[in-house]
Chains A and B, each alone.
Chain A
Amino acid sequence: MITVYWVYPDGSEHKASVEEGVNLMEAAMANDIESIYGECGGSMACATCHVEVDESCGIKAGEPFAMENEMLDMVESGRTPTSRLSCQLVASPELDGIRLKVAW
């Protein structure tokens, strides 16, 4: 299990334990994180699981994959340098404590 924080625009946060191997879009859905919808089920066709990795927590999630990269260019809420589709982030020890800002 790792710990994941989702941070809302008003600064409030939701903390949850996530089993290793589970992608963080599924984890968000299981935790009823607002504005994460995962409508395409992780096939990188909708961008409704867009998050911004808050690197101030000391954890980096790495660069987006090629197709993910294209989808991120299309998000209405605006892409940032640490934007990721959370369906492409899989819970692993390296991501323990990661903070994800929810994009509205």
Chain B
Amino acid sequence: MTADLQTCPFSTGSLGARFRPYEQEGMFAFFKEARAQQPVFYNQELDCWVVTKKADIQAIFRDPDRFSASNSQSPVNAYSADVHEILVDGEFTREPTQANTDRPKHTRIRNIAGQFLNQKRFARYEDQIRELTRQQIATLPPTGTVDLVEALTYELPAKVLFLLVGVPQEESYRVKRWSDNTFNMIWGKPTEDDTIAGARGLVEYYDFCKSVVNDRLESGVEGDDYVSHLLRARNGDDAILTMNEIYSLVHGVLAAGHETTSNGSANLLWALLSDREQWDKLVADRSLIANAVEEGLRYMTPFITWRRMTLTDVEIGGVAIPAGATILMSLVSANHDEDSFEGPLAFDVERKNARQHLAFGNGIHFCMGAPLARMEMKILLEELTQRYPNMRLVEKDNIEWPLNMGFRGPVKLLVELGE
């Protein structure tokens, strides 16, 4: 047993019993042990099989015939009858459209969404994204201590997304709150009271998405935005896309399209500033920034786990798993796999194969927003290293992380901006 394993706070009992899916503390060491000792293990708390090796996870992602995506966004802790009632009464009719849909529906919708959500279209927004980033950075004081999450990484990705979707920038804070709530409801550990309040939040949020779509339909669909694109593609034909599918798509992109980037950006800044040498390398040579973004996604994966359901009896890494079982793929563990990355627990902006991570998934459900997220994070680093080259973390340790089995990013990131 190596030194860092001894610091693992859960070092007694079987791996399945020691697994703490919601907690950051000790996670890297835990998965290191799992990859070496028992790379596929069962966890009773979530009734799931946890898969930790990159090759196994990549094979699952690439095998949609045997591994359904239908459970990937189901609430980890099932809703109570009271919560269901609120959702039904509030006409919360969100349906699976993308990440949690199987073929052929997935293919139909992905093809339409992909005509808008693609790297060529995203590239057109580069100047506007840089401008939004500069404006947000301009709100920071010239020197002193700030929380980069609050001041920068929390809201900026939402503003970028609103540009593409065609939603007023003023709504970004409200939408951030709603999507925080959505993710807590699905992947967090809310109390029943929180869940009741959260269900009302889900209804409000979905109503907002419906109104965005319906307003666009009324005011005209000629615009160069995502909602107009979906409505034009639909052209009144339910066989192409139903209105409820469009509401659901807008709901999906308005949440998934920025929360991930917020966490990814804050994680990246935390990793860079925790090891000043890495930050200084970027300040000295900005051509390293694109690779630093990949290394940040690899080392501090912003969405740490993703689910699949077995459609048939399968064998993963020599372990037999029955049909109908939940598979929990640890993306962060895949990205720390010793068989794929040399010295995986080191953060190295010059790592040659950093981009071979699975932070955006793999296969037919590969993240459609990946090129956008990459561009946003690259621009953010380009601007920040230029404006605040001497920025320092106020405190490297004692970072607060959310209690969430999916989303992972620091709640606060206090930095000294420097001169």
Interface set of A (CB-CB < 8 Å, partner B): 32, 37, 39-41, 43, 45-47, 67, 70-71, 73-76
Contacts and interface: CB of A to CB of B under 8 A. Distances in A.
B371 A41 contact: no
Nearest to A78: B120
Nearest to A43: B364
27 contacts: A37-B355, A39-B360, A39-B362, A39-B370, A40-B362, A41-B58, A41-B61, A41-B62, A41-B363, A41-B366, A43-B363, A43-B364, A43-B366, A45-B110, A45-B114, A45-B366, A46-B370, A47-B119, A67-B111, A70-B111, A71-B114, A74-B114, A74-B118, A74-B119, A75-B119, A75-B120, A76-B371
Given A39-B362, A45-B364, 18 more contacts: A39-B370, A40-B362, A40-B363, A40-B364, A40-B366, A41-B61, A41-B362, A41-B363, A45-B110, A45-B368, A46-B366, A70-B114, A70-B115, A73-B120, A75-B119, A75-B120, A76-B123, A76-B371
A75 B120 CA distance: 6
Interface string B73-111: 000000000000000000000000000000000000011
For chain B, what secondary structure do more than half of its interface residues adopt (helix, strand, loop), or is it mixed? helix
Contacts, number: 47
B232 interface: no
Nearest to B114: A45
Contact of A74 (B120, B353, B362): B120
B121 interface: yes
A14 B398 CA distance: 47
B366 A39 contact: yes
Contacts of B61: 41
A74 to B, nearest CB: 4
Contacts of A76: 119-120, 123, 371
A92 B123 CA distance: 36
Contacts of A73: 120
Contacts of A74: 114, 118-121
A23 B117 CA distance: 26
B337 to A, nearest CB: 16
Contacts of A32: 353
B293 to A, nearest CB: 14
Interface string B37-72: 000000000000000000000100110000000000
B362 to A, nearest CB: 5
A70 B110 CA distance: 12
A9 B355 CA distance: 20
Interface in B327-381: 353, 355-356, 360, 362-364, 366, 368, 370-371
